[in-house]
A and B are shown apart, each in its own frame.
Chain A
Amino acid sequence: MNPLFMLLVPLLFLGAALWGFGKLKEAGRGERLLAGAILGVSLFLYLCAVLDYEPWMPNDLYKRLAIWFQHSYIEES
């Protein structure tokens, strides 16, 4: 991962948290929870990137199918 990116992202998290405190002050509990959950997942993905660990992503669900179609239908034609 690019070092500039690694530095920029914690700043972003800090900004997002500060923004969250201000913006969601008047919002309901549900909204604060959802914003917190999204930030939490983002933080987890950031840690994965820093620790060089590849988490499962939704597009992985289709990987085998995509490879099969590419080989059996397109390249053999």
Chain B
Amino acid sequence: MRTERISIRQFAWMVTVLLVGTSLFTLTRQLPRIASQDAWLSYILPAIYAFAVAALFSMLAARYPGKNIFEIAREAAGRWAGGALNGLLIAHFLLIAIRDLKLIAFFSQSTLLGATPIEIILFLLVLATVYYASLSIEDHARVIELIFPFMVLFTLITPFLLTGDMNLSRLEPFLVVHPGRLGMSSLIQAASFGDLLIMGAFLHTLARASAIHVALRKGILISTILLTAILLLIINVLGEDLASDLTYPAFTMIEQLQLTDFLDRLEIFILFVWVPFATMKSVLTFAAILYGLSSFFGHRSMNRFHIPLGLLLLFASYFSFDSVIDVFAFSMLPNVLNQAAVQIVLFGILLLAVLFRRTAGSSNDTDHASPGLVRTTALLLAAAAILLPALFLAKTHAWVGDACALGYVCLLLLAFASSYSEVREVKKIE
């Protein structure tokens, strides 16, 4: 079996593609519907939850070095139970791939390819996905490395290009939403962060468990910052009412970009990044399914089943989700239940198997509680804790809401900076 290796940075950026990829089109509309102008604060609990998943992955990778989640499941839970678990994971990933492909197809049809039938767009997307499957995961990582800087660059320059359309009063008063509503929007976003499970299929691409841990945490924090920034901008530019009424508020926001009179279709350039960014999420999901299928036969080949699976994906996505509203509706409570069921079963069985089976190889990673790791986690928890007093006091004391929102942003940025120093620490050890 050829050993596939990618860097910590590539792994982290793959995580970002998975977490941001299609959230950009779905939840930027749905979250303001639930948590009004405070929807941009819905990412902190999902980030904490994703940190917990990263810790579980790291623990499994430390116990079963050089193996992906499918191989770990078969080794830990045995041939039959592990096989059933892998079947469940493959079905789950297939549903994610179908949802994402259909969403990208609907989005492309309504923004770029108005006259093209949906099945032809799906066909082209599946063709690209199947082509990528004939390559290796290292190639996927390199393509993501090409797109990712543009994604960050556009997110960074958008506020400067939209200064004329921004109005801070659309975000105010801060933290006056009912805590239950903020909790619900966080839960829905957390389910979207559940797509992190797909990274389990690529655990074998990094040699050390500590490297996997820091890469996952770095990717989660980049995604949290990017999504927070984008939703903050959407509400700041469009307002919560318009953001929740429009089909694609993120697209409408970038439509407002204008540099000069002759450069007023800047959104086309941004779509050149957004659409491949989202498509790469489907590519990674497809690769994960292929790894899952090949794990039944004891190898890690992506190009054994890619064509038949591509055809299945094409027709399954053609018949699933009649409209984009169906995709949006599925991304809410149904996704929460779906992710919860799969993750409870998967991690429950794996943890039990790890606890009761002592046959697996133990790790030589002793840096699980490195200072950087503790610092980043503490900063993230502090960012969540700082919101609590404001949720109860901001209605009567607006300044508490303002101060806590500012503190939240500062702590989130500090946690992000801390995750970079974590990576440096691990690289030094390596």
The chain A residues found within 8 Å of chain B, CB to CB, are 1-2, 4-5, 8-9, 12-13, 15-16, 19-20, 23-24, 27-28, 30-31, 34-35, 38-39, 41-42, 45-46, 48-49, 54-55, 57-59, 62-63, 65-67, 69-70, 73-74, 77
Contacts and interface: CB of A to CB of B under 8 A. Distances in A.
B347 interface: no
B337 A41 contact: no
Contacts of B117: 2, 5
A39 B320 CA distance: 18
A59 B333 contact: no
Interface string B308-328: 110110111011110000100
A42 B319 contact: no
Interface string B16-34: 0000000000000010011
Contact of B320 (A30, A38, A58): A58
B320 A59 contact: yes
Contacts of A5: 117, 119-120, 123
B293 interface: yes
Given A2-B120, A62-B334, A70-B332, A57 B316 contact: yes
Nearest to A65: B334
B312 A41 contact: yes
Given A9-B314, A62-B337, 8 more contacts: A2-B117, A31-B297, A45-B318, A49-B318, A58-B91, A62-B334, A69-B329, A70-B329
Sort A-B residue pairs by CB-CB distance and give the 4 closest, nearest first. Answer: A62-B334, A45-B315, A66-B329, A38-B308
Contacts of A42: 308, 311-312, 314-315
Interface of B: 30, 33-34, 91, 94-95, 98-99, 117, 119-120, 123, 181, 184, 293, 296-297, 303-305, 307-309, 311-312, 314-316, 318-321, 326, 329-330, 332-334, 337-338
Given A45-B316, A46-B315, A59 B304 contact: no
Nearest to B122: A5
Contact of A30 (B119, B120, B297, B311): B297
A65 B308 contact: no
A48 B319 contact: yes
A16 B126 CA distance: 14
Contacts of B181: 77
Contacts of B309: 38
B73 to A, nearest CB: 18
Contact of A31 (B98, B303, B304): B304
Nearest to A64: B334
B304 A24 contact: yes
Contacts of A69: 329, 332-334
23 contacts: A1-B119, A5-B117, A12-B311, A20-B307, A23-B304, A28-B297, A30-B297, A31-B304, A34-B293, A34-B305, A42-B315, A45-B315, A46-B315, A49-B318, A58-B320, A59-B321, A62-B334, A65-B333, A66-B333, A66-B334, A67-B329, A70-B332, A77-B181
Contact of A59 (B99, B303, B318): B99
Interface centre among B120, B293, B315, B320 (most CB of A within 10 A): B315
Contacts of B316: 45, 57
Nearest to B99: A59
A59 B330 contact: yes
Nearest to B303: A23
Contacts of B305: 31, 34-35, 38
A56 to B, nearest CB: 9
Given A59-B98, A59-B99, A65-B337, A39 B330 contact: no
B312 A38 contact: yes
Contacts of B123: 5, 8
Contacts of B91: 58
Contacts of A16: 307-308, 311
Contacts of A62: 330, 334, 337-338
Interface centre among A20, A27, A54, A59 (most CB of B within 10 A): A59
Nearest to A67: B329
Nearest to B331: A66
B326 A66 contact: yes
A15 B310 CA distance: 12
A58 B333 contact: no
Contacts of B303: 23
Contacts of B334: 59, 62, 65-66, 69
A62 B92 CA distance: 13
B120 A4 contact: yes
A35 B119 contact: no
